Amino acid sequence: MPLITLDDGCNLSYRIEGPADAPPLVLSNSLGTAMAMWEPQLAALTRHYRVIRYDSRGHGASDAPAGPYTMERLGQDVLGLLDELDIYRVRFCGLSKGGMVGQWLGINAGQRLERLVLANTAAYMGPPQGWQGRMELVTAQGMGAVTEAVIERWFTPGFVAAQPAAVDRVRRLLLATQPQGYVGCCAAIRDMDQRPQLPAIAVPTLVIGGTQDPATPPEKAEELHAAIKDSGLVMLNAAHLSNVEQAEAFTEALLTFLA
């Protein structure tokens, strides 16, 4: 998989699929996964878009430099990738942490965005102590110490029972995440509060939430929708990884909005 080297020396892994002359669409992964989390959407999206997936700093095949990271750093990583690919404007879809990066881009680099999708995400994820405790646990014991608790928050019990193979694919992504990279990104979320800046997002925006999402509950989606002028809101019957649990409905909502 190709790599680009960012301004601070971090190597970022990415992949481009779909027609070379199609509009570019960037997909940004959640905390603890990698670009593979978007597999349920890929076949449909690559019919219409030049899909650019990347492994966030600290995840997948990208480098995991020592943290802490910041949301600004994670946003600048996207801009660095686009600059390297000589692409100025894109459609952007991020889920969870990826949606936090999307908010940062909408606030600070809106001129680079055609459309913005913020899925199962939030502008603030306090209190900081909870994140600090998770960071210390992963530092001491590795990703296995949190993986099953994360899975319980990411999928409804019914989906876990009905689709064990899909859940196990996500479990493997979590377990493969480098602890130092996970902890670095946890710090970015711990220190983030983008609520005051949300009204600065002027790009057409769709917020997608999960009605059964305990990680970023429905009120977090409603907060984004209320603060971002003229944004749309779609609620899916899912927990946190709605693009996996409700793959068809998620893809339909995404394609309808992006078009």
Domains, the chain, ranges and CATH? 3-258 (3.40.50.1820)
- Per-residue pLDDT of 177-231, as tens digits, reads 999 999 999 999 999 999 999 999 999 999 999 999 999 999 999 999 999 999 9
The CB density around residue 226, as the number of other CB atoms within 10 Å, is 13
Give backbone dihedrals phi and psi of 215, rounded to 5 degrees, phi first. -80, -50
* 219-256: pLDDT as tens digits: 999 999 999 999 999 999 999 999 999 999 999 999 99
Q: How would you classify the pairing of strands 205-210 and 232-236?
A: parallel
Rounded CA-CA distance 219/93 in Å is 20
